Structure 1
Amino acid sequence: MTSAKKVAFYTLGCKLNFSETSTIARDFSSEGFERVDFSEKADIYVINTCSVTENADKRFKSIVKQAQKINEDAFVAAIGCYAQLKPEELADVDGVDLVLGATEKFNITSYINDLLDNPEQRSRDGAQIHSCEIEDADFYVGSYSIGDRTRAFLKVQDGCDYKCTYCTIPLARGISRSDTLENVLYNAAEISKKEIKEIVLTGVNIGDYGKGEFGNKKHEHTFFELCQALDTVEGIERLRISSIEPNLLKNETIDFVAQSNSFVPHFHIPLQSGSDTLLKLMKRRYMSGLYVDRVSRIKTVMPNACIGVDVIVGFPGETEELFLETYNFLNELDISYLHVFTYSERENTEAASMEGVVPKKTRAKRSKMLRGLSAKKRRAYYESQLGNSLTVLFEGENKEGYIHGFTENYVKVKTPWNPELVNTLHNIILTKIDDDGMVRFEFVTTEVVNS
């Protein structure tokens, strides 16, 4: 290329998508492209898509329009889960030039360079589609985010072998497979060189870590062994587990986190329903009793631990009685917050053809109830932490005159903006909860911790 082309990225969905976007962005930079913000004029706009919910699908069109308003002549490429599941649908969106599936997305620079060198290939009648059969997504590509945030998202696993009846992720990402322990440790060390203080471990089903490529079901290493090894990486102050299935969160891991040098007391554990009847319909691999056991174990060894919960409302067959079973289950559980997902029908899933469809108005009502419960749970958790001495890692953004940060156990705090605090750790004492739900604090000392 005679001059540096500008490329911008937009990521929908999970932390795993953010880690992959960041890695793909570095590939562009290494080939001479200049990365700019998505709100700026670029020659190429790359949208990393999600297809967990119907809403994520709908947002794609608006993001394409946003890019076109900035530069109507730009190339627009769609990658990610939605691109794998429905490539033709994305290709039909006006303005889209390139759609890449699960394996092809990691070769995006080759496809883009080809389009730039051969502009006559570009057609407004539809985008180029390069996608694979999902069975071909049997190899692993490591990724991590860096330079975008105070913390880094480190991908350690991809794909899923579970057959949950509502989920399209196995169709979009393929079988469960993992990075090698050696490569994970190498990437963690690379992140530490960038003076990033926190790593968040991500994947589709990270508790299943250790399965090799090509459908090898044998675990070369366990998730527990991964945690043990990462705890020895120098320069990383914090390690956080993004989300882990309750049946794969073992006592040995919980106990290890409780005495770890780096792992923080914060767990995000998908529940989906507090009703065993619905858990069976969902084909989850546990019942509610096991979930109670996991929460109890965490709170026994880490009383101040933060526990987040994923829950789905409006799943087929969810009667008012079964919904209230979930609501009461969560209300009585010693948890800290909820991520509430309103069920939406996804093609090629068992649940899409199940009886007992819940009206959308009822789904919305139940979702609102659980979001209200989440706010109540978060407030109660924050109140339980007032007076505690904790450590905060400050973020890098000035939001209405304040700088925000998170304690090791995921309490969100704020203080007047001070750029010198960005990406630093400080010992604090939590003092009061503001009207916006965030927590004020006092510095124990003004010294930076471990830097």
Structure 2
Amino acid sequence: MGLSGKSVAFHTLGCKLNFAESSTISRDLQAAGMHLVDLNKGADVVVINTCSVTNQADVECRAVVRKALRANDQAFVVVTGCYAQLRPSEIAAMEGVDLVVGAQEKLHLRKFLTDLSKQSEAQIHSCDIQAVEQYQAAYSFGDRTRAFLKVQDGCDYKCTYCTIPMARGVSRSAPLDQAVAQARALVKKGVQEVVLTGVNIGDYGKGELGNKRHDHRFIDLLLALDEVDGLDRIRISSIEPNLLNQEVIDFVSGSQRFVPHFHIPLQSGNNEILGLMKRRYQRELYQERVEAILARHPDACIGVDVIVGFPGETEDHFLDTYQFLQNLPIGYLHVFTYSERPGTEAIDLPGVVPPVERKARNHRLRLLSAQKQKAFALAHEGSVRRVLWEDADRQGYMQGYTENYIRVSAPFDTQRAGTVEHIVLGPWNAQDTMSVQSIVQPSVAS
């Protein structure tokens, strides 16, 4: 049975890397003649790209399967992604699921869609994660503004809470020439900002040529991408503090393309908890990295990942983290509540934090994040910034980000959407973003 003329819908859970891979699968299926529709439009094929970061993966997956089948009870349901790699049999047993595709196979999904009739048992195509060594390229492309470019996959770290090495395999990288070629291709499509993404992108270069040696370093990738003509902005999605060295900080601060925005996972501001997590740094190094960034670029935005409720985290440990973050000159937090993941070391650690306390700590840090984000934005009120407007019409408003990751909104304007504009930042507005005080001509801004 051919795919031409069939409809396909995607639902992607989790990280930017998942979105890049979903977009790549989608392009391949459209090249085979399928057309893309919304999930609620009753697609012939539904692809669910899952996440395994929290213990809600199964709940989220089941909910999407039910939603897909409500729209079309004969939809051929495919589940892929990290959860599919970790728990293929569990997913195959879910009512309505027809195909489970693992990490090595997901970007070749098309070849498994030879028969779209629903059967009594789901098919599973998933190899052992130890066999996953080949790098597979991916990028997202949805509009004229921003694309996520995958440059690295997998992780060799052994953080005690994390399932990613079990779901994605060893650290491996895009060949340098391939990454540069994809960036150039995105420029030709009209993309103005590329976000570099991966599992541990600071480890870039490892496994580039099918071995464990670093044939290139992360800084080599940055230097090469900085030479791509026509690319307005490059953003680093997330980088481990122990891999964010002074050479990278200095380079970004002097680049006209790389923006002053660093997202750096912390996970805990208490050294004892960092040790239990088997993180590769202590909080003193993290603070040094933040200070080094701001010394070179005072306007830089720094985002932080943090986990609350890790086993053994007492109220004093949490307050240590809270005060550490409160005193750091950062722009925002991404707060995650610890959840037990089968197969991880942390699941056997003593000192389990009650779920109600985990939730309370999450709430406290989210409030701190909102305060930090607003304070960072207001500190730049009246300054001239370059904002990249997104295409979406959000109830009469368009939104965009400045180079240093300040969210801005203005009344929707078709002519300005999808463009880069020099503006003077106005006050905080009802959309919980900064407003536009005035538009500045580029010659004046420079």
The match for 2:237 is 242
Listed as ranges, the matches of 1:12-27 within 5 Å are 12-27=13-28
Q: Contact 1:412–1:439 (CA<8 Å) still a contact in 2?
A: yes
Matched, 1:115 2:110: no
Q: Which residue of 1 aligns with 2:343?
A: 348
| Partner in structure 1 of residue 268 of structure 2 | 273
Instruction: Give the Cα–Cα distance (whole angstroms) in 2 for the partners of residues 2 and 83 of structure 1.
Output: 23
Q: Which residue of 1 aligns with 2:365?
A: 370
Deviation at 1:446, TM superposition (A): 6.2
Shift in alpha-carbon separation, 1:387–1:5, aligned structure 2, 3 A: same
Matched residue SS, 1:46: strand
Matched, 1:5 2:1: no
TM-score (norm 2): 0.97
Cα drift, residue 215 of structure 1 = 6.5
Report the secondary structure of 1:216's partner residue: coil
Aligned to 2:81: 80
Aligned to 1:52: 53
C-alpha spacing 1:449/1:81, structure 2 compared with 1 (3 Å): farther
Q: How does 1:422-433 map to 2 (within 5 A)?
A: 422-433=417-428
Give 1:208's match in structure 2, choosing from 203, 211, 223.
203
Alpha-carbon offset, residue 147 of structure 1: 2.4
Distance in 2 between residues matched to 1:200 and 1:159, nearest whole Å? 18
Same amino acid, percent of matched pairs: 54
Q: 1:199·1:239 contact (CA, 8 Å) conserved in 2?
A: yes
Is the CA contact 2:271–2:282 (under 8 Å) kept in the aligned structure 1?
yes
1:131 match: 126
Quick one: structure 1 residues 75 and 149, their matched pair in 2 at CA, closer, same or farther if it must change by over 3 Å? farther
Contact 2:175 2:209 in 1 (8 A): no
**1:395 maps to 2:390:** yes
1:310 to 288, 305, 311: 305
| Structure 2 gaps, min length 5 | none
Q: Secondary structure at the match of 2:205?
A: coil
2:414 aligns with 419
SS in 1 for 2:346: helix
Residue deviations 1:251-297, cap 9 Å, x none?
Answer: 01111111102000000000000000000000000000000000000
Q: Which AA in structure 2 matches 1:363?
A: R
Helix, strand or coil at the partner of 1:385? coil
Partner of 2:96: 95
Distance 1:2 1:143 in 2: 22
Contact conserved, 1:139 with 1:213, CA < 8 A, in 2? no
**Can you list the C-alpha shifts for 1:151-201, whole angstroms capped at 9, x where unaligned?**
000000000000000000000000000000000001000000011100000
Deviation at 1:431, TM superposition (A): 1.4
Deviation at 1:32, TM superposition (A): 1.3
DSSP-derived class of the 1:346 partner: coil
Deviation at 1:443, TM superposition (A): 3.3
* 1:449 shift after superposition: 12
Structure 2 SS opposite 1:10: strand
Residue type at the aligned position of 2:381: L
Q: 1:241 deviation in Å?
A: 0.2
Query: Do the aligned partners of 2:145 and 2:419 also contact (CA within 8 Å) in 1?
Result: no
Aligned to 2:323: 328
Please give the per-residue CA displacement for 1:334-363, whole angstroms capped at 9, x wherever unaligned: 101000000000000000010000000000
Matched residue type, 1:229: A
Matched residues in 2 for 1:182 and 1:104: separation? 24
Within 2, Cα distance between the matches of 1:272 and 1:396?
Answer: 34
CA contact (8 A) 2:409 2:431 kept: no
In structure 1, distance between residues paired with 2:180 and 2:361? 43
Which digits, 9 at most, give the CA deviation of each residue in 1:387-444, with x for residues without a partner?
1100000011111110111100010011111111121000001110014421011333
Residues 8-67 of structure 1: per-residue CA shift (max 9 Å, x gap): 111100000010011111110111111222232211000100010123432111111111
Query: 5+ residue gaps in structure 1?
Result: none
Aligned to 2:62: 61
Q: Does 1:384 align with 2:379?
A: yes
CA contact (8 A) 1:176 1:208 kept: yes
Q: How far apart are the structure 2 equivalents of 1:295 and 1:57?
A: 37
For residues 121-270 of structure 1, what are the structure 2 equivalents within 5 Å? Answer: 122-124=118-120, 126-148=121-143, 150-212=145-207, 216-270=211-265
Partner amino acid for 2:23? S
Query: What SS is found at the alignment partner of 1:115?
Result: coil
> Which amino acid is 2:55 matched to?
E
Q: Is the 2:313–2:351 Cα contact (8 Å) retained in structure 1? A: yes
8 Å contact 1:196–1:423 — kept in the other structure?
no
Instruction: Calculate the TM-score normalised by the size of structure 1.
Output: 0.96
Q: Secondary structure at the match of 2:379?
A: helix
State how far apart, in whole Å, the 2-side matches of 1:254 and 1:151 are.
23
* Alignment: residue pair count: 444
| CA distance in 1: counterparts of 2:156 and 2:358, whole angstroms | 28
Check the 8 A contact 2:155/2:199 in 1, yes or no: yes
Match of 2:47, SS?
A: strand
CA contact (8 A) 1:425 1:448 kept: no
Q: Tell me the distance in 2 between the aligned counterparts of 1:31 and 1:355.
A: 52
CA displacement 1:363-401 (0-9 Å, x = unmatched): 011010000110111111011111110000001111111
1:214: Cα distance to partner? 8.1
Task: Please tell me whether the aligned partners of residues 50 and 57 of structure 1 are also in contact (alpha carbons under 8 angstroms).
Answer: no
Is residue 3–residue 32 contact of structure 2 (8 Å, CA) maintained in 1?
A: no
Cα distance change on mapping 1:446 and 1:162 into 2, 3 Å: same
CA gap of 1:195–1:276, structure 2 versus 1, over 3 A, is same
Q: Is the 8 A contact 2:4 2:32 kept in 1?
A: no
Q: CA RMSD in A?
A: 1.6
Give distance in 1, aligned partners of 2:5 and 2:265.
Answer: 44
Moved more, 345-354 or 437-446: 437-446
